[in-house]
Each structure stands twice: as C-alpha cells, then as structure tokens.
A and B are shown apart, each in its own frame.
Chain A
C-alpha cells in the first residue's frame, strides 16, 4: 500500500526520442564550428588590415567576457570599461616603465582588473537588473575621473603615449602588426577557452540556475551572491586581458578606454551578436569593428548613428541577436528544438 503506484504515476509519457545520432551530430557540429572559428582567427590578418584584425580579436574576447556575465549570470554590467580600460593602463604602464613583455603586461592588467572587480562585485551583486547596471556604471565613472585627474601617471586626457611592444627581443613581433597578431592570438584564444571552460563547469551549471531562478537556487543551498561575485571577477579578468592586448597593440592608451561609451559598445556588440552563446560576442565584434573601420576610413562622421541604427534594428527584428537567430533557424531546419542554453536579456531578469 505504501509503495508508489507506478502504473498511474505522473510520468508515464514516453521519453523524448532522439538520443544518440542527434547528439553525435551536434557534437560534430560543434567541432566543425570550432575548427571554422580557428581557421578564421588564423587567416584574419591576411584578409583584413592586421591592426584591425587585432582590434576584432580583442573586442571579441571583451564581448565573450561580458556574455559570461550577461548571458550566463543574467547580470548586465554597464561598467565593464573599468576592467578593459583599467587593465589597458596597467598593461601600458608596466610595458612603458618596467619593460614587461607584452603577454605579461596584459596578464598584469588582467590581474589588476580582477582585484578591482572584487570590491565592485561585492558591492553591486546585491542588486540586479537596471540597479546592477547603474551601480557598475557608477564605479566605472569613478575610475574614469581618477584616471583623468591623475595626470602624472596616466597622462590625463592626452592618454598614455608611446607604449612599447616588448616580446623577448623578437623584432618581427615588436615592430610588425602582422606578426604581433599571431603572438597575441594565443592570449585571446586562451581567454576564450577559459570562458568556455567556466560555462561548461559545475560552476557554470549553478550560474545558469541562479540566472533562471535565484530563489530556487538558494533553496537548493547555493549562495547566489558568491557565485555572482566570482563570475563578475572572472568576467573582469577576461575583459582586462582583452583590454591589455588592445592597449599594447595600439601603442598608446586613451582615456576613451575607461569611458562609459566603451562599456556601452561592448554591451552593444554582445547583444547584437546574441547573448548566452559565447559565439555571439565574437560575431558582434566582427560586424561592429569592421563596420566602424569601413565608415571611419570612408571619412563618414556619424559612425554612432549607423551602429546605433544597426543595433536597434537587430534588437527589434532578431531578439536573440545574430548568432541566436541563425542557430535557431538551423536547429529548426534539422527538426530539433532550438538551443535552450541561449536566452534573451529579458528572460534573464525574470528570476525573482
């Protein structure tokens, strides 16, 4: 009498079909995609002016870093310029004054970004939604004013000029943007691999749970704030790595890197590409950086109008961004359910 009545239990519907072959297909698809991405990364400076290729790679990592926070933790930071730009200054200063090889300078910048992110994260993860965005923006603006005021160190509004590239005396890398790209690419790819590792870890699983239903995650014994602080710090570190490489590749650090427009631009790139996929940020970076470069070199003044219009069009027409829309369409053509791991920004806010 006390045993479960299995015949009329609620779960008598058959299990969903499609285990093996579909899964295999998806795994192979992922490997193909990864291979295609790597090939693209390797040929990029052959088809695009190498410094622009470097910009794309750096912005792509920056967008991936933001996606880790926005897409997987559901937290919209509007202050990520603090980590990208803060690291850019640290990387620039250590290369300039200590002659650090550029990978170490970029890593030092990333380390600084993480140290900076810790207290900011602790103070801002108590809020979510628009409040989180505003608190992070406020902290980023504080850094902007410090950088602007501390002229002796940062050069104020003139920026930090004459940042050298040191790379163990390898002259090709130190002087030629084409070779620099290949020297810096491993750092970028390492950062992207790390983001992928985080997403597909036990931590990543919990993170998605805290995004979708924080109250329930707490009932299961997870301290949601700790998870949010940690992902904030990781995201800042990756944003810092990208900013450090960007600064060295340009040979100077401008005040623009810590300005709110930079925070806005990375949100734009990520949402445009599609959040919650990691690939989306890469696509967004390719589209926007190339678009801006084309418009700038044609002497067009109103770049912001064009990128803004593209952004509005994509958000209105394709809520899941470029990547999300394309991958959904492909999944539907193969007769699968669209990937569940990707969500729109609005869905991420519904948790509580």
Chain B
C-alpha cells in the first residue's frame, strides 16, 4: 500500500515509536554503522536483516544504550534518548533481549521475573528490608511463566534449563518490563524448527499492542512476522519495505546471493 521509501522521512499521520536519524558508530576508524535512518511505526513488527557483519547487533546496542553513537540521534515516541544508559532506556519503555542467552544461572525463572518486575516497580535499593518483599511480584511472575510455557520450571535454576526454555525465559523477561517497544535480538537463534514455530507464535501474541523490532537470519521467521523489513549491508541501509518488496529487490538478492532461501 505504501511506497517503501515512505517509512523514512516525515511519518505523516502514523506515530513513530522508535526513530533513528543519521546514526553512525565508529570503532577505531571502522564504521560498523553508517548514517542509518530508521523509523519504526507504533504497533508494527519490524525486522532488521542482513548478512553477518552488516551491523545489526551494533545497531541494536546503539538503540538500547549499550553503545554510544559516534553521531546521530535516537528518539522514542519523540523523546530524545541519544546517549542514555541502558537502564534509563529500559525505564523509557524500551526492552531488549540478547542474542546470546543472557540469564542469571543461579536464579530460578521465578526469581528472574521477580527481579525484572522489581526493576520496573522500583525498591531495589532497600538494603534494610527482607527480600521476601520480592514475593509481592510472584503472582505476575507466575503468569508470565505460564504465558511462555515455563510454569512447571519456576523453581529450577536457570543454568539447568534446556536451550529452548532459556530462550523462553529470555522472552518472559522482556515481557516483564511491559515495554512499549520490544527489541528482540535473534529470538530464534539456534532453535530447531518446532521451537522456532512456537517462538513465532509467541512473538505474534505479545506484539499485539506493542512495537517490535527484531533481528533474525531465518527468513521464514521474518516472512511470518514482519510488517516491514530493513535490510542492512556493511552498516548501511540497503533496502526497506515489506517482506515481499525487499525479497524481490535486486540489490538484496545480489547481497544475499540467494542466501535467503536456505535459512
């Protein structure tokens, strides 16, 4: 319906949830991300794709404050968040997951979620109170565990969970922050077909009423979920549009050399 180029520049009547302008990141002379413009419209699912080394994860780290941009600006719902710290960005309603599963191995899934819920609600600095205070979040924590299918594993240390279960917990942690914008870094990385389909279903569910940006190599996932796709190549935006549009874009085809069919 819209021309793909319309997603850049003045968004018109649509509200832009997350936006980047002229975003660049240089590491000792190497420009990992070059002058990237990105507009993620509120409520959409937006995929970032590109070959390895295209700068997808660097862009993610810039958007969530784990890296500071060399130049450019980032806004969330019109508010400038450029240069803010990760925890401040989390409080702005932008939550992220990690490509490599990043959990607290000694904590149980329930404790993870209690911690995440407390992170948003506040009160973590209370060193003079009993940690039984965290139990007030237990109800919500168990709901989230149920939602991602971990209800039976609430009390097992996360280090002992199977890979797919860890990914599910990762997703539950993002959901616990009740974010307006979710950034998922390769939510299906390393998963078998069955887990991939389950994850697609889960993302589809949680995307209702939220804005989702995700990175994935799996074109099946991208095709199933994404309203819009931005293709990165060597740190630059190569193409953008709907999945069908970018899939047939000759520059994208050239960049991937048909790679998109086997994943």
Contacts and interface: CB of A to CB of B under 8 A. Distances in A.
Interface of A: 2, 4-6, 8-16, 19, 197-198, 200-206, 208-209, 212-213, 215-224, 226-227, 230, 234, 337, 340-341, 343
Interface residues of B, number: 62
Interface of B: 64, 66, 85-88, 90-91, 95-96, 98, 102-107, 111, 114-116, 118-120, 123-131, 133-134, 145, 147-157, 162, 164-165, 167-168, 173, 176-177, 194-195, 198, 201-202, 204-205
A10 B150 contact: yes
17 contacts: A8-B198, A9-B149, A9-B150, A10-B165, A16-B156, A197-B127, A202-B126, A204-B131, A208-B106, A216-B103, A218-B87, A219-B87, A219-B102, A220-B177, A221-B91, A221-B177, A230-B125
A218 B116 CA distance: 10
B117 to A, nearest CB: 9
B194 to A, nearest CB: 7
Given A11-B151, A201-B130, A221-B91, 13 more contacts: A4-B149, A9-B168, A11-B165, A15-B153, A202-B127, A203-B124, A209-B115, A218-B90, A219-B86, A221-B177, A223-B88, A226-B125, A227-B125
B127 A16 contact: no
A10 B162 contact: yes
Contacts, number: 159
B127 A234 contact: yes
A15 B154 contact: yes
A254 B152 CA distance: 59
A11 B102 contact: no
Contacts of A11: 145, 148-153, 165, 168
Contact of A341 (B106, B151, B154, B204): B106
Nearest to B109: A11
A206 B115 contact: yes
Contacts of A201: 126-131
A220 B201 contact: no
Given A201-B126, A341-B106, A9 B156 contact: no
